[in-house]
Structure 1
Amino acid sequence: KVSTTVMDINAGLLYRHPVGENIHITPRLGYAMRTWSFAKKNVLDVPSVSYSSIDLGADVRMNLANVAVVEAGLSFYLPLGAGDLAEGEYYGESSLYGLGLRFLFGYKLTQQLEIVVTFDYSRYQFSFNDKGARTADSASDQYLQFGLGARFNH
């Protein structure tokens, strides 16, 4: 048994700009961090991953007949770091980029309160220089998240 720690933190500045009566475009500038770490690295011999990146993206929101809302978004993750996996010991020095896709469906209980169903997909793509202890020229890391919740819009 090996303890695993998972952490996912996102913070950002967003501005919802109306384009017509039922469509809004929301540019985003933020910080994203996702960490997977293992308590017993010497037992598993698996590198921990700790992505930190600038989140540069945009969302589109469309109101449907005053009872529902649909949103879709795209983010490019400009990496600041990736933890043990990218630091050279395992596979050599690396280059990295990330991509995020978001989808949301919301049902409006009131003009400000929505019940939402969400889907998020994130992918990080590595290229290695193949000068580490192990051999690999590339790798990808993918995350899928589904959510159900409520949201208040002002």
Structure 2
Amino acid sequence: MGKLSILCLKIILAIATAGALFVQFGMIPMIIFNDSPGTGAERLVSGSFLAYLFIAGLIIEACVYCVWKLATRVRRGTVFDPASLRYVSPIIFAFVIGALATFTLAAIFASSSEIAPGIVLLIGGAGVLMIGISFIVLVLRHLLEQAAQLRTELGEVI
């Protein structure tokens, strides 16, 4: 990866972090303060959605931090060091937690008569995609482990 592509990646990561922070500390409080009180079921749906948004922001921020650190290691040429693995595992766990939160939100929405079944299905599908992403990152983690091991072995040969 060249310097320009790393710079572009970091700009995108900074924008994603700014967006997540804006939603967490700007939009969610604004919705809470301006939301009209409703019935118990409406409050459950609204509250669970707002909690989900906050958790999603935390997950995005954790992933951005780890990808930022990995991009820095790529730029320095140290990404194949075994120490890089400590930045990959949190991404896997973040997506698993995100999938569990998504499935929980879908279950809460399914119990409400106000949410269309198609919406619940779409949310469940997003949870399945998150599980798929976590498996992809797990495979990439194993590839990084193998590359780090090969680099160590080549260093011993040379």
TM-score, length basis structure 2: 0.25
In the superposition, the TM-score normalised over structure 1's length comes to 0.26
Higher CA-based Rg: 2
User: Could you say which structure has the higher helix fraction?
Assistant: 2
Give the number of the structure with larger relative contact order, counting CA–CA contacts within 8 Å between residues 6 or more apart: 2
| Structure (1/2) with the larger strand percentage | 1
